Structure 1
């Protein structure tokens, strides 16, 4: 499944695929929501496990994140609220997520993470992983806090958020998979015309594990 849209001056593209054995609904989710005042909330999350329970949890987390983003909450506060919500459930369910608030007015991104893989930042100089502010997975500790970090993202740069199904493979470390995704995006950035970088990056990024759900979100400020 693919999606292309423009949200408050940010081009967003998504590639989403469910695991080969899990049916039409998976536990991964993404968000690209216009916030009050012209900002954009970008997020990707992953509920551990498969089946109806994971899918139902995904729907609740995504809906809650949308509500909090529309209320204007910052990324760290959003993840803390989702964590408390998940910890209140009687069944033990864990999830990871990363979310960022992009401000088109000054091209700044403020982001937080909950046990999730690093955001990739693609520029003319290359592709690097952004710093990972501290934050444990959702559903572990109701008192957990989620730190934030900031970066300025220029026009034409790409931000990539993704779940482990994009980069994880049984025969190698997940860090190698992240580096493989970075290499794919670097190659795409070099080959693509300036206005076609987002589409080319999504098309060129390999999916390493068809047995797991996979979600890749790319965002390009314009």
Structure 2
């Protein structure tokens, strides 16, 4: 950590408690008004616009609750030379309250001593008996991707006497991740030199989740409006009934290592009155393994929707029985080929083994998954496998790939990239082992590497391909290895 130098201005003293009571009254009155409007909104119908408005009301109430709690903490603390938030309150509220989400710390640069409040230990998930971290050790708390940001915040405070005001993610010892907002200032001695630094840290994880929910609801409203104006009832109602019920981000398995952060979406075609046969699916299996599948069947309308439901049921049933991806596709091929109404299609089927962080997968004439790692991307080498429904008794090979935390997998159906964007003959080049630079999805590698979640990665894909004129429906599934 750089050594401190003199600051040209004194640190601002903490606010006094005189006008705090008035601020508390104003905040609580505003909370009551917002809550009354929200209750009125709850009596409205459940159209997407009303859901979005209610989500905004809920977020506003969360922020007002936090503001009320901070004002109450200011009023209850006695005045002293040190910032009030730096002293732990023995009567502090228990875990889960708003006050328990705010902690504080002070670092003495002359003695190299550190003082943390009890609430800060709870926020960071550290043993209260352990000594507080020094400024040099502080960046080790942050998520690896956020350590440079935390180091810069502290350095600017000590060297340039700048106030600290920023957020970073904390990787707790139990493996969970929290988002923390940090505010602080340098404390100057009589000679104008920096003698210590104090900071207040607030756990804003719940608030950020609320903001994400508002954003997701807003996106849902936009999609609903687009579908209402461009799609008939079967596209709006039948399609979502076939695909998995979960919306937005999903983290599986729910226990143990090898967690995948997942997000998926189906993008409708710009033309055509009927829904197509594209699907995505994720299922947690006994023992913690996951089934991931993406595929499409030929045809449009109610008939192909029925076939997709049958295919999803077959894949899920065989996966629950412990079958490998290659055998699952072989049986699905036999099912489609021998039915009363034969169907053609393609698919990728995977089993995620979290204990070893390996993906075992098989493909049936479908675009292979893309793997993004360290800012670069490549399409996985596909094992043998023909289109579904074309050859009786077809066998499908399997491939296994080891993944690491931070890796991103992208599964998609053919319609994601419009035909005019594809390089002619690029598919033949892939089979011959030629470079895949012509694949426009690989150009997203730097942005997907910088994405903090599967949801962010999905938004990156949507920004690039979501609003384009597409001739066919498309499904995209993003999986990010978290731990």
Query: Shared fold (TM-score greater than 0.5)?
Result: yes
Change (3 A) 1:220 1:191: closer
Counterpart among 327, 335, 339 of residue 77 in structure 1: 327
- For residue 357 of structure 2, what is the aligned residue in structure 1? 107
- For residue 198 of structure 1, what is the aligned residue in structure 2? 454
- Paired with 2:438 and 2:362, the residues of 1 have a C-alpha distance of 18
CA positional deviation for 1:73: 1.1
CA positional deviation for 1:201: 1.9
**Do residues 11 (structure 1) and 261 (structure 2) align?**
yes
- For residue 128 of structure 1, what is the aligned residue in structure 2? 378
Structure 1: tracts of 5 or more residues without a match? none
Change (3 A) 1:178 1:50: farther
Can you list the C-alpha shifts for 1:18-71, whole angstroms capped at 9, x where unaligned? 223445743111111111211111110111222222211111101111111122
- Paired with 2:409 and 2:449, the residues of 1 have a C-alpha distance of 16
- For residue 153 of structure 1, what is the aligned residue in structure 2? 403
Question: Is this contact kept in 2: 1:44–1:161, CA < 8 A?
Answer: yes
> How much is the aligned-residue C-alpha RMSD, in angstroms?
2.1
Q: Give the match's secondary structure for 1:56.
A: helix
**Do residues 218 (structure 1) and 482 (structure 2) align?**
no
How does the TM-score come out when normalised to structure 1?
0.90
Can you list the C-alpha shifts for 1:94-152, whole angstroms capped at 9, x where unaligned? 01000111111010111000000011001115111111001001101121000000110
- For residue 6 of structure 2, what is the aligned residue in structure 1? none
- Paired with 2:414 and 2:422, the residues of 1 have a C-alpha distance of 13
- Paired with 1:49 and 1:209, the residues of 2 have a C-alpha distance of 20
Question: Is this contact kept in 1: 2:330–2:394, CA < 8 A?
Answer: yes
- Paired with 1:178 and 1:119, the residues of 2 have a C-alpha distance of 16
Normalized per residue, which structure has more helix? 2
- Paired with 1:42 and 1:162, the residues of 2 have a C-alpha distance of 12
- Paired with 1:177 and 1:29, the residues of 2 have a C-alpha distance of 27
- Paired with 1:19 and 1:110, the residues of 2 have a C-alpha distance of 31
The count of corresponding residues between Structure 1 and Structure 2 is 218
Ranked by relative contact order (alpha carbons within 8 Å, sequence separation 6 or more), the top structure is: 1
Normalized per residue, which structure has more strand? 1
